[in-house]
């Protein structure tokens, strides 16, 4: 990945309906989204020029805005078209896309009901989230101190910027200790997710994953569950307690950035990436690749 800061790269960003030069895509320091986290976003990948599950991501973006009490002023179809245009404008075929919507600077205070809602879309070349050599042997996870909040205290079903504050803190702490990421518990002390990815466990040929009711039910998570069921694998969505971590044989995480990444360690617990994990990694890779067009 390039070491060039993200505000100094070349290319084009779609901003409120038009393309602007990458370095000119700016917001004011008094934007509400910066001060009060009234911002939602998506993380998406394009493979071979096709954005994987683009419409599902656009729908979730719109829904996230609604949960934060604002309406993104573009339809799902318009957002889909804008994302594709960004890829083409920047001559990308394999890339990461970041649509982001936020409240502007018309009012500065907790209440900002009349602020303009902005939407921007950027895309850049981005390889595997984790080093390929590390990914194949499994990444190491720490246990996070912060927990995912009670859904009655935060808009947990939205992909909202403010929900990632504790994720950044937790990932930084994990990285300083030599880990790749951190596993978070929920507010009741049950296994939840990583800082930016969902988690799955395997025991005796059965796939187990936490119920996604206080954290994001990831699009990659949904895809992997579907792929597992197509294979005939049993999938159980349930409450998983930390004292169960040592009873599983395999573990992996899922996300647009992480894709399907094996885990070798969570704190004192060890896992060996095996056949089921490898099968789902391969199935996911096949799923995201653009299908050959019929003659």
Choose the catalytic residue: 53, 62, 159, 171. Answer: 159
Q: Can you tell me which residue has the tokens 């992909």?
A: 159
Contact 196, 220 (CB under 8 A): no
DSSP string, 42-77: --EEEETTEETTHHHHHHHHHHHHHHTT---SS-HH
Distance in angstroms (rounded) separating the CA atoms of residues 133 and 187: 34
C-beta atoms surrounding 199 within 10 Å? 24
Q: 60 — phi, psi (to 5°)?
A: -65, -35
Question: Is 159 among the residues known to form the active site?
Answer: yes
C-beta atoms surrounding 275 within 10 Å? 10
The contacts of residue 95 (CB under 8 Å, 6+ apart) are 45, 46, 87, 123, 124, 125, 126
- Ordered alpha helix ranges (H), the chain: 32-36, 54-67, 76-89, 132-137, 165-176, 219-230, 275-288
Catalytically active residues, by annotation: 159
């Amino acid at each position: 990945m390039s070491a060039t800061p993200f505000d100094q790269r070349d290319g084009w960003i779609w901003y409120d309906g038009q393309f602007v030069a990458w370095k000119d895509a700016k917001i004011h320091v008094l934007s509400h989204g910066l001060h009060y986290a009234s911002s939602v976003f998506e993380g998406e990948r394009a493979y071979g020029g096709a954005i994987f599950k683009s419409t599902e991501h656009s729908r979730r973006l719109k829904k996230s805005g609604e949960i934060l009490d604002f309406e993104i002023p573009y339809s799902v179809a318009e957002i889909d078209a804008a994302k594709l245009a960004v890829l083409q404008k920047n001559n990308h075929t394999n890339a990461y896309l970041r649509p982001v919507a936020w409240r502007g600077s018309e009012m500065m205070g907790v209440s900002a009901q009349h602020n303009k809602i902005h939407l921007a879309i950027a895309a850049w070349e981005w390889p595997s989230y984790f080093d390929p050599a590390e990914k194949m042997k499994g990444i190491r996870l720490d246990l996070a101190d912060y927990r995912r909040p009670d859904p009655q205290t935060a808009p947990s079903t939205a992909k909202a910027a403010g929900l990632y504050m504790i994720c950044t803190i937790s990932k930084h702490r994990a990285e300083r200790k030599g880990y790749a990421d951190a596993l978070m518990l929920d507010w009741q002390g049950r296994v939840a997710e990583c800082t930016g990815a969902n988690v799955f466990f395997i025991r005796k040929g059965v796939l187990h994953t936490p119920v996604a009711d206080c954290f994001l039910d990831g699009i990659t998570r949904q895809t992997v569950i579907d792929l597992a069921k197509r294979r005939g694998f049993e999938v159980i969505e349930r409450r998983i307690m930390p004292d169960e971590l040592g009873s599983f044989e395999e573990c992996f995480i899922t996300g647009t950035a992480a894709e399907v990444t094996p885990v070798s360690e969570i704190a004192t617990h060890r896992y060996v990436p095996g056949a089921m994990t490898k099968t789902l990694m391969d199935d996911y890779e096949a799923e995201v690749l653009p299908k050959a067009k019929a003659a």
